[in-house]
Structure 1
Amino acid sequence: MTYQQPGNWSDPSWPSQAGQPQDPGYPVSGQPIPQGYAAPPQGYAAPMYPGYAPYPPSPPTNGMAIAALVCSLAGIATCISAPVGAILGHIARKQIRERGEGGDGLALAGIIVGWILTGLLVLVIAFYVVIIILAINSESGTTY
């Protein structure tokens, strides 16, 4: 009997294991299952080990949470979409709580980034307004 290496292909450099018994639970492909061992039934589930439970599938991510983060980050370039992203983030967090979906961190990041960028935008607009008012009210140094 020649021992076949993993992948069920032969390699002349692979050592021959003629004297060692083959594991009857894992026959080499194409060989019959030895007497006393039955093939596992169809739909055979993975074995359960005590203390280890399989992970439950993760819930789907809320699409509005993704949109909130994208709009908030796009607010860096456009300045208009930042408050939209923050508002979408608030709506997404409410939907996530109600539906049990994932993406709470995305929604929270959209809220934080959106409101920070909105605040910075308001400060920049206020700065420009003050500069314009000062420019209008300043006395001109020219006399006619």
Structure 2
Amino acid sequence: MSYPPPSGGWQDPSAPGPQSSPPADPTLPMGGNPIPTQPTSADPYAPAGPYAGMPAADPYAAPAYPAAGDPYAAGGYPPPAYPAYGAPTTKTNGMAIAALALALIGITSCITAPIGAILGHVALKQIRERGESGEGMAKAGIIIGWILTALMILFIVAVVIAAIADSSNSY
């Protein structure tokens, strides 16, 4: 069984093969194998491509870590990811919420509808002054409140007319 040559240009001494390693030089690191700074054309494992001819990186150099205590050193973790959706930038006007709620409650009670309409007008003024959100709720409170107030007034007028008509037809 034959093994492919390992990457990096070194030979595994335990792998079978006709090639032998060069004699060890005790003055050199890592068992005496010199670190090539520039590949030669006779080297079968010389890199080819855009990095050919460049000096090899020194594997014994100190890693490029930031100095201890450096407040501007880059951390080992990536920066935090931003959330998918941000928090709303403006708050909703509470009076607009109350105007819509009172106008809708006015469907059953008819008493709170005009209060909801008036609160809607006040809320619109506050929204324009403060730059808050909730303009749609305030307008809905105004519209629903005044419509229900008008219907309530028409109903009261109809009841009064019916009472007057019934009293004039007395036997």
Q: TM-score, normalised by structure 2?
A: 0.51
Structure 1 pair 64/139, CA: closer, same or farther in 2 (3 Å)? same
Higher percent of residues as helix:
1
1:105 aligns with 2:136: yes
Q: TM-score, normalised by structure 1?
A: 0.60
TM-superposed CA distance for 1:103, in Å, is 0.3
Q: How many residues align?
A: 99
TM-superposed CA distance for 1:75, in Å, is 0.3
- Separation in 2, partners of 1:36, 1:66: 59
- Separation in 2, partners of 1:94, 1:67: 15
1:133 aligns with 2:164: yes
Deviations 1:59-109 (A, max 9, x none): 100000000000000001111000000000000000000000000000000
Deviations 1:3-40 (A, max 9, x none): xxxxxxxxxxxxxxxxxxxxxxxxxxxxxxxx779646
1:86 aligns with 2:117: yes
TM-superposed CA distance for 1:46, in Å, is 5.5
Equivalent runs, 1:15-26 vs 2, <5 Å: none
* Alignment RMSD (CA, Å): 2.7
Specify which structure has the bigger relative contact order, considering alpha-carbon pairs within 8 angstroms and separated by 6 or more residues. Answer: 1
Which structure 1 residue ranges, 5 or more long, are not aligned? 1-34, 48-53
Match of 1:65 in 2: 96
- Separation in 2, partners of 1:102, 1:132: 47
- Separation in 2, partners of 1:77, 1:40: 63
Equivalent runs, 1:42-57 vs 2, <5 Å: 44=79, 57=88
Identity %: 53
Q: Computing the radius of gyration over CA atoms, which structure comes out larger, 1 or 2?
A: 2
